[in-house]
Structure 1
Amino acid sequence: MPVKNFEDYIEKHPQWEHELIQLREVILSTDLKETIKWGAPTYTLNNKNVVSLGGFKNHYALWFFNGALLKKNTSLLVNAQEGKTKALRQIRFTKEDKIDSPTLKTYIEEAIELQKEGKSVPIQKNKELLIPTELTQYFQKNPEMETSFHNLTKGKQREYADYIREAKRSNTKDKRLEKIKPMIINQVGLYNKYK
């Protein structure tokens, strides 16, 4: 069932219902507007993403889209994917954690001010495209896929190349190669369904 509103999201994460409602109240006490993006509650200012909520198996989180730019309020922030995520930061919570609403609000207000000032982490351009060996070998057996791959935009090519390279086990890489073959042939980006 697709998530259409906050209530749908809570139904998918009942173990965090009370906590997510409490975080939402803090966020909605600011100028931010609630929407659903990528299947999660996302809060925007002038249609620009500022913060989002996330419920996971062992924790829940408050995401800051430009968290790397926060200067005053940083002690609780973590990078969820070190070396991969440039701007996004989060504050993680577990069942044992108490939500300190006034402290969280200072983080959110600083993020809002950054958005009002138009500040964001610059997007890295012209990152070298490194095609993993497994993908190159797969192309040799599937020339149609190789042709389709080279007809994709550089950004989409990079998404697919990174998707294969980031898999740690060879059987995971093989499964991913099988999964992406029809997508590449049909000229569909790896993350198109989220756009």
Structure 2
Amino acid sequence: MEEKHTWDKINQWADELDVLKAIIAKTELVETNKWGGLIYTYHNKNILGIGGFKSYFGIWFMNGVFLKDPARVLIAATDETKALRQWRFQSKEALNESLILQYIQEAIDNEVKGISHKPQKKEAVVCAFFAHELQKDVAFAAAFEKFSLTKKKEFLEYIASAKQEKTKVSRMEKIKPMVLQNIGLHDQYR
């Protein structure tokens, strides 16, 4: 059987991660491999992940912002982090199994109750300049309609984000041949 990858870039936390896995195995969570590491799910919903980093190993709860956190151990990794919360450890001795299981159970209970962060949808991009170009050129409009919603949005944002009219014109000149050849704006990076 192929070994699953864990986030432990410098391989110094193998024993500690095994202890965490053993604790998590006592729950209803299912171990999966996503985004290059171990993620634990409940009814196909991501609940938590584990991994090792330079100075710590830890658990991150996908909707940790909703956990009561009585031990005050959860932190947001960055200022921009919305719902995810980390619990960092520096040693096996720091692992409190009963407390970890309590946090995991609360995370599962929250999922069952539907308590989770829902990303806000961005408003649809509207660009009159782009709409006018589509109306002017039937072939361009037909080719544009073949793209996925994501690729359409990329093109729209690219044109709409230009502040000056001359920039919009030059960007349109750049993308028109791409659209006609069915090449997405960022295809070269995919």
With normalisation by structure 1, the TM-score equals: 0.61
Given that 1:41 and 1:52 are in contact with CA atoms closer than 8 Å, whether structure 2 keeps it comes out as yes
SS at match of 1:52: strand
Taking a change above 3 Å as real, the CA distance of residues 104 and 11 of structure 1, as seen in their structure-2 partners, is closer
What count of residue pairs does the alignment treat as equivalent? 143
- The CA distance in 2 between the partners of 1:16 and 1:27, in whole Å, is 16
Contact 2:13 2:52 in 1 (8 A): yes
Structure 2 unmatched ranges of 5 or more: 126-143, 158-182
Structure 1 runs not aligned, ≥5 long: 130-146, 159-181, 190-195
Deviation per residue, 1:56-88 (Å, 9 max, x gap): 111111010000111254610000011x11111
SS of structure 2 residue aligned to 1:92: strand
- Residues 70-120 of structure 1 show CA distances to partners (whole Å, capped at 9, x for unaligned) of 1254610000011x1111111011248621111111111100101111221
Q: Which residue number in structure 2 is paired with residue 169 of structure 1?
A: none
Paired residue for 2:42? Answer: 45
SS in structure 1 of the partner of residue 40 of structure 2: strand
**Distance between the aligned counterparts of 1:47 and 1:74, measured in 2?**
28
Q: Of 26, 30, 55, which aligns to 1:29?
A: 26
> CA offset at residue 125 of structure 1?
2.3
Instruction: Quote how far apart the aligned CAs of 1:10 are.
Output: 7.6
CA radius of gyration, larger in = 2
Alignment deviations for residues 23-82 of structure 1 (CA, whole Å, 9 cap, x no partner): 111111000000000011110001100010021111111010000111254610000011
Note closer, same or farther for the CA distance 1:117–1:153 as it changes in structure 2 (3 Å cut).
farther
What is the match of residue 83 of structure 2?
A: 87
What is the DSSP-based 3-state SS (H/G/I as helix, E as strand, rest coil) of the residue aligned with 2:114?
coil
Deviations 1:142-173 (A, max 9, x none): xxxxx99xx73548998xxxxxxxxxxxxxxx
> One-letter code of the match for 2:72?
S
Structure 2 match to 1:16: 13
Partner of 1:78: 75
The separation in 2 between residues aligned to 1:155 and 1:37, in whole angstroms, is 26
- 1:113 matches 2:109: yes
- Distance in 2 (CA, whole Å) between partners of 1:52 and 1:110 is 15
**Distance of aligned partners of 1:92 and 1:127 in 2 relative to their CA distance in 1, 3 Å threshold:** farther
**C-alpha distance in 2 between matches for 1:157 and 1:57:** 41
CA distance 1:21–1:5, shift in 2 (3 Å): same
Q: For 1:128 and 1:24, how far apart are their aligned partners in 2?
A: 42
Q: What is the TM-score of this pair, normalised by structure 2?
A: 0.63
